[in-house]
């Protein structure tokens, strides 16, 4: 199998291909905790974004401030049964909100269709369950974006940062080795997932969770504030192990060329070269 060319791109959903700023998961999580009399800040909601939503809820409950609120409201520390109950409640909330915030991000459809025309296969992973992802898939297809494969954490052994969703995508797409694949996402857990799978990783800043603004709010920011937010997001993603960083999916073409240069020029024995 040829290993000096990129063969597949594995994409995240919210904040990467749809939902500029990854707004829907935050609103749904805040609504979920508000139903129980708890106040969840945007920063706390975004802290572990990208995980399977059950794992995300568990991580939120483990935060000292949220745990203390839960204790005050319920009279006991968060327990396994509480996590299961909240996750069951989260599904309907997410389904209601997700339809309002799943627009395909500008430039995504054209970029992905261009990659497909060049023979690249397109996979996708997510923190959503299959039930949650289904309406997003339908709307994305209507707006011109349709990956060749999609895998959800409830369909494999574990969600991010485990590599199993990516491994299943590679199997479905019949692409290998992992070093010929690129994982693109906007969260720390996306980067960890890609690294654990042995793939190249690209972190996205402007459209994603670490900045957390929809396209309209981003446009209104003063230029100096935009640059500061971009720099901070870039640093977070690079610290997490991203090989490259871009503002948006549409800005990744040049990065793919750089990766192929590495693959062609390096003495490559299955180890990623930065």
Are 258 and 251 spatial neighbours (Cβ–Cβ below 8 Å)? no
User: Do the strands 121-124 and 8-11 form a parallel or antiparallel pair, or are they unpaired?
Assistant: parallel
The answer to whether 53 is a known catalytic residue is yes
Catalytic member of 12, 44, 48, 186: 12
Catalytic status, residue 12: yes
Which among 19, 53, 186, 229 is annotated as catalytic?
53
> What positions carry a catalytic annotation?
12, 53
């Amino acid at each position: 199998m040829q290993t000096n060319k990129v063969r597949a791109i594995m994409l995240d959903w919210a904040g990467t291909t749809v939902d500029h700023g990854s707004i829907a998961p935050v609103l749904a999580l805040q609504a979920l905790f508000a139903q129980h009399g708890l106040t969840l800040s945007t920063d706390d909601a975004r802290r572990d974004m990208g995980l399977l939503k059950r794992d995300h809820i568990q991580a939120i409950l483990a935060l000292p401030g949220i745990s203390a609120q839960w204790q005050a409201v319920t009279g006991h520390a968060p327990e396994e049964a509480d996590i299961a109950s909240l996750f069951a409640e989260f599904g309907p909330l997410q389904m209601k909100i997700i339809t309002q915030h799943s627009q395909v991000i500008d430039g995504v459809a054209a970029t992905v269709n261009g990659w497909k025309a060049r023979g690249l296969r397109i996979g996708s992973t997510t923190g959503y369950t299959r039930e949650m992802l289904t309406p997003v898939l339908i709307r994305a297809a209507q707006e011109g974006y349709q990956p060749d494969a999609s895998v959800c954490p409830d369909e494999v052994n574990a969600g991010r940062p485990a590599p199993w969703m990516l491994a299943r995508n590679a199997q479905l797409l019949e692409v290998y080795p992992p070093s010929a694949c690129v994982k693109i996402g906007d969260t720390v857990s996306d980067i960890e997932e890609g690294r654990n799978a042995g793939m190249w990783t690209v972190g996205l800043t402007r459209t994603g969770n670490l900045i957390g603004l929809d396209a309209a709010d981003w446009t209104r920011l003063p230029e100096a504030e935009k640059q500061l937010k971009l720099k901070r997001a870039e640093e977070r993603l690079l610290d997490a192990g991203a090989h490259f960083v871009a503002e948006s999916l549409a800005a990744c073409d040049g990065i793919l060329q750089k990766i192929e240069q590495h693959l062609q020029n390096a003495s490559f024995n299955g180890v990623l070269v930065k």
